[in-house]
Amino acid sequence: MSEMAFTPDEMMTIAASRALKNDDVCFVGIGAPSAACNVARLTHAPDITLIYESGTIGTAPTVLPLSIGDGELCDTALTTVSVPEMFRYWLQGGRVSIGFLGAAQLDRFGNINTTVIGDYETPKTRLPGGGGAPEIASLSGEVYITMKQSQRGMVDTIDFYTSFGHGDGGDHRKRLGIDTKGPTMLITDLAIWKPDETTKEFTVVSIHPGVSREDIQASCGWTVKFADQPAQTSPPTELELSTLRDLKARTKAAHERSTPTHQDQK
């Protein structure tokens, strides 16, 4: 095993990047998914098609965008279409193989809440909302989710069903007339999870290096199910780690370069 030191965050991004294939057409959510998708593109999946909801198809940014509509995405895209076209022809039309989402709140069946903490009408915390996610979750061929584990984030019951995963589990998607696979993988900073074939409950199938079962349970709000013999996630390779770190360094430099210019001259 390599002596290389890496953070749980880096392990998460790299494990998530490995899930993507060269021929995937991936609708990329902002934040953690964006880093994973671009590491995949810069390592083992150079021909992957990355799509952002701002309309950029086949984008290959050299730095990670701060928003889903940074100019970098358009500059490096094969083509840029309007937002209605993006959602109608490309997502609803069934052209997207993977939807890659982050989550504020997640339950064991891959249902995602990014809308409110508390009651919808009188929320304790008003979150940004769904954006593209409700339809990415139902219309992509399958869905990968990536998030850092925490008791607050991975909860027994989510406060709001922003994006439907497997609902109450089992064949709930099918009963609602949703014919796509839904969440098929969850990549956290501690483990890789896949839904049980029958119940659709997320089950730990691979544990990241240096992580214990107790760690995984301690940062998860439901009682964790483990596969009979969970694998151990391979640690990041030198190439994966250097690719991710270079990408982050370029991104940091680029975002700091635009110093605030709105301090008007008096």
Residue 24 token pair: 């995937």
**Tokens 């007339």 correspond to what residue?**
177
Which run of H or of E encompasses 243?
A: helix 238-257
The interaxial angle of helices 8-18 and 238-257, nearest 10 deg, is 110
Tokens of 74: 């358009």
With b for 16 or more beta-carbon neighbours within 10 A and e for fewer, the 30-49 pattern comes to bebbbbbbbbbbbbebeebb
Cβ 123 to another protein shortest distance, Å:
7
**Residue 6 CB, nearest approach to another protein (Å):** 24
User: Which C-beta is closer to another protein: that of 43 or that of 49?
Assistant: 49
Nearer Cβ to another protein (55/236): 55
d(CA 23, CA 44): 11
Q: Which of 10, 53, 201, 240 is catalytic?
A: 53
Q: What does the binding site for another protein look like in residue numbers (CB under 8 A)?
A: 30-31, 53-56, 65-71, 73-75, 80-84, 86-88, 91-92, 115, 120-121, 123, 125-135, 138-139, 160-164, 167, 172-173, 176-178, 255-262, 264-265
Nearest CA among 242, 243, 254 for reference residue 63: 254
User: For residues 12 and 112, which CB has a smaller minimum distance to another protein in the complex?
Assistant: 112
Instruction: Name the nearest CA neighbour of 196 among 173, 154, 166, 238.
Output: 166
Cα–Cα distance measured from residue 244 to residue 261, given in angstroms and rounded to the nearest whole number: 30
Classify the C-alpha dihedral 60-182-116-14 as positive or negative.
Answer: negative
Q: In the complex with another protein, which residue's Cβ is closer, 46 or 129?
A: 129
Instruction: Tell me the closest approach of the beta carbon of residue 250 to another protein, in angstroms.
Output: 14
Look up 53 and say whether it is catalytic: yes
Smallest distance from another protein to CB 265, Å: 7
Give min distance, CB of 100 to another protein, in A: 16
Closest to another protein by CB, 102 vs 235, is 102
Cα separations in angstroms, 30 against 69, 100, 212: 10, 9, 29
Give the shortest CB-94-to-another protein separation in angstroms.
10
| Nearest CB to another protein, comparing residues 231 and 253 | 253
AA identity, residue 113? N
The closest alpha carbon to 18, from 51, 46, 50, 43, belongs to 43
Active-site residue list? 53
